[in-house]
Amino acid sequence: MPEFKYKTMGQQFGRRSWAEPWKIKMVEPLRMLTPEERRRAASEAGYNTFLLRSEDVYIDLLTDSGTSAMSDRQWAGLMLGDEAYAGSRNFYRLEDAIRKFYGFKHVVPTHQGRGAEHLISKALIEPGDIIPGNMYFTTTRLHQELAGGTFVDVICAAAHDPTDRSPFKGDVDLDKLEALIRKVGAEKIPYVSLAGTVNMAGGQPVSMANVKALRALTDRHGIRLYLDATRMAENAFFIQEREPGYREKSIAEILKEFCSFTDGCWMSSKKDNLVNIGGWLAVNHEDVFEKARNMVVIYEGLHTYGGMAGRDMEAVAIGIEEMVDEDHIRSRVDQVRYLGTLLLDWGIPIVEPAGGHAIFLDAKRFYPHIPQAQFPAQTLAAELYLDSGIRSMERGNVSAGRDPKTGDHRYPALELTRLTIPRRVYTQAHMDVVAESIKAAFDSRDKTRGLKMVYEPEYLRFFQARFEPLA
Ligand SMILES: *Cc1c(COP(=O)(O)O)cnc(C)c1O
- Check pLDDT > 70 for residue 455: yes
Q: What is the pLDDT of residue 6?
A: 59
- What is the rounded average pLDDT of the residues 143-148? 97
Q: What is the mean pLDDT of residues 194-199?
A: 95
State yes or no: pLDDT of 15 exceeds 70: no
Distance 182 CA to ligand 1 centre (A): 30
Local confidence band at 435 (pLDDT 50, 70, 90 cut-offs): very high
Give the residue-averaged pLDDT of 286-302: 97
Q: What is the pLDDT of residue 18?
A: 76
Instruction: Say if pTM beats, i.e. exceeds, 0.75.
Output: yes
Q: How far apart are CA 285 and CA 105, in angstroms?
A: 8
Residue range 23-71, pLDDT digits in tens: 999 999 999 999 999 999 999 999 999 999 999 999 999 999 999 999 9
**Which atom number of ligand 1 is nearest to the Cα of residue 115?**
9
Average pLDDT over residues 414-419: 94
CA angle 388, 393, 396 (to 5 degrees): 135
Residue 311 CA: distances (Å) to CA of 102, 105, 118, 267: 21, 23, 24, 18
- What number of CA atoms fall less than 13 Å from residue 128's CA on the CB side? 5
**What is the 65 CA–ligand 1 centroid distance (Å)?**
8
pLDDT (mean) for 133-151: 95
**What's the pLDDT band for 91 if we cut at 50, 70, 90?**
very high
**What's the whole-number mean pLDDT along residues 184-209?**
96
Task: Give yes or no for a contact between 410 and 402, defined as CB atoms under 8 angstroms apart.
Answer: yes
DSSP state of 160: G
- Whether 10 shows a pLDDT value over 70: the answer reads no
Which residues does 453 contact at the CB level (< 8 Å), separation at least 6? 375, 398, 465, 466, 467
| pLDDT, mean over the chain | 95
- Mean pLDDT throughout 336-349? 96
Tens of pLDDT, residue by residue over 371-392, are 999 999 999 999 999 999 999 9
User: How far apart are alpha carbons 227 and 263 in whole angstroms?
Assistant: 8
Atom of ligand 1 nearest to the CA of 114: 9
- Model pLDDT, residue 13: 56
Ligand 1 atom at minimal distance to the Cα of residue 269: 7
pLDDT given at position 428: 93
For ligand 1, whether the C-beta of 265 sits within 6 Å is no
Position 170 scores a pLDDT of 98
Q: Which domains are assigned to the chain?
A: 9-60+326-469 (3.90.1150.10), 72-323 (3.40.640.10)
Is the pLDDT score of 14 beyond 70? no
Q: Which of 272, 394, 305, 323 lies closest to 110, judged by CA?
A: 305
Q: Whose CA is nearest to atom 6 of ligand 1?
A: 113
Q: How far is CA 162 from CA 159, 234, 316, 347, in A?
A: 7, 19, 34, 14
Can you give the pLDDT at residue 394?
96
201 has pLDDT over 90: no
Q: Is the pLDDT of residue 16 over 80?
A: no
Q: Is the CB of 307 under 6 A from ligand 1?
A: no
CA of residue 114 to ligand 1 center, whole Å: 6
11 vs 342: which has the higher pLDDT: 342
Backbone angles phi, psi at 429, to 5 degrees: -65, -40
Backbone phi, psi, residue 246, to 5°:
-115, 0
Residue 4 has pLDDT above 70, yes or no: no
pLDDT tens digits for 298-342? 999 999 999 999 999 999 999 999 999 999 999 999 999 999 999
The minimum-distance atom of ligand 1 relative to the CA of 66 is 7
CB-based contact 94:343 (threshold 8 Å): no
Whether 11 has a pLDDT exceeding 70, the answer reads no
Contact 273 CB / ligand 1 (< 6 Å): no
Q: Which residues are catalytic?
A: 85, 137-138, 228, 271, 395, 462
Cα of 399 from ligand 1 centre, angstroms: 14
> What's the rounded mean pLDDT across residues 171-197?
98
pLDDT cut 70: percent of the chain above it: 97
Q: pLDDT (tens digit, 9 = 90+) per residue, 207-266?
A: 999 999 999 999 999 999 999 999 999 999 999 999 999 999 999 999 999 999 999 999
Query: Is residue 65 within 6 Å of ligand 1 at its C-beta?
Result: yes
The whole-number average pLDDT for the span 335-353 is 96
Of 316, 333, 245, 244, whose CA–CA distance to 275 is shortest?
Answer: 316
